[in-house]
Amino acid sequence: MGSSQESTFSSASAAAQVNASALDLLPVYAKELIAGGAAGAFAKTAVAPLERVKILLQTRTEGFQSLGILQSLRKLWQYEGVRGFYKGNGASVLRIVPYAALHYMTYEQYRCWILNNFAPSVGTGPVVDLFAGSAAGGTAVLCTYPLDLARTKLAYQVSNVGQSGNALGNSGQQQTYNGIKDVFKTVYKEGGARSLYRGVGPTLIGILPYAGLKFYIYEDLKSRVPEDYKKSVILKLSCGALAGLFGQTLTYPLDVVRRQMQVQSKQPQNSSDGFRVKGTYQGLLLIIRCQGWRQLFAGLSLNYVKVVPSVAIGFTTYDMMKALLGVPPRERVHASGASK
């Protein structure tokens, strides 16, 4: 009996050592990619129903313009059931995993590069996080934007159970998509590779300040936390939530322009329809003139509800995953990079 227990314990110990050694073999950037991807997937799935409703409000889908959050969720449940809450979430997770992985990893790499090369000019404070976060956000967007386009087009469709194939409440014939691959194929036929990046202009203009501000505020708030509480999950969640709320408020109108550019080819048009968003600033002015300035903030209250858990979960999961994967503290990473 005793010998069998000893062999079991020794086998478990050997397996644990193998797993630990396998993790040790991974380079730091690979661990940061894994941690970032996991953080993005957890955060995005947690708020998927709210994200779906936000897109319907932003794109002024007929039947949802005057509804609140609860009424919109109830209407989705009525027409599409539970699956309706997660329509487009497959594309969203497929996008967010590489996006978040690239975002967090490149943020760490840009931050390390800035500190190693420009520390005398920019210092070592949260300003570094502002620059690194902005650059990382732009890099991640350019690499994953077509998936975001697919997610938006899938989420924009609201099927009526009684009228299969039609968008709920919309008149005229609507393009329907059967999945991510179908979106890519159809959009590519419409205008080639450029059409897969429709709306990337306002996206970049919005993500550069948003990503930078998000990391800047989060790291600045964390630096003000007393040493005894730095490992507190509640405080990390709070810092992440505040960072997301502030960043989203400043850049939200650009997100509305982006969504309308992404879906406008699907909306019914006629010869008298002069509403066509062609660029960021033109889109902002056109929305104000035709739909009113309030439309630039349509769904913002819902976005607050969504951003609080999303950004908080994202930052906290990332920090916890880094600790789990054995990513060394930043000071050690930077010191080793500077010594090379």
Is pLDDT above 90 for 104? yes
Contact (Cβ atoms closer than 8 angstroms) between residue 177 and residue 121: no
Q: What is the pLDDT of residue 204?
A: 86
| The residue count for the chain | 340
- Tell me how far apart the alpha carbons of residues 88 and 158 are, in angstroms, rounded to a whole number: 11
The H or E element spanning position 156 is: helix 126-156
Q: Please report, for residues 133, 258, 278, 292, the alpha-carbon distance to residue 286 in angstroms, rounded to integers and kept in the order given.
A: 30, 13, 10, 9
Q: What is the pLDDT of residue 226?
A: 86
Q: Name the more confident of 174 and 94.
A: 94
Query: DSSP label at 276?
Result: -
Q: What is the pLDDT of residue 136?
A: 95
Q: What is the pLDDT of residue 38?
A: 93
Give the number of C-alpha atoms closer than 13 A to the C-alpha of residue 292, restricted to the C-beta side. 6
Is pLDDT above 70 for 11? no
pTM exceeds 0.85 for this model: no
Going from N- to C-terminal start, the domains of the chain cover 28-166+177-267+276-339
Domain boundaries 28-166+177-267+276-339, corresponding CATH code: 1.50.40.10
Contact (Cβ atoms closer than 8 angstroms) between residue 271 and residue 258: no
Q: Please report, for residues 69, 166, 315, the alpha-carbon distance to residue 310 in angstroms, rounded to integers and kept in the order given.
A: 17, 32, 9
- Tell me how far apart the alpha carbons of residues 34 and 100 are, in angstroms, rounded to a whole number: 9
Compute how many other C-beta atoms are within 10 angstroms of the C-beta atom of residue 59.
22
Q: Is 11 helix (H, G, I), strand (E, B) or coil?
A: helix
Q: Name the more confident of 269 and 181.
A: 181
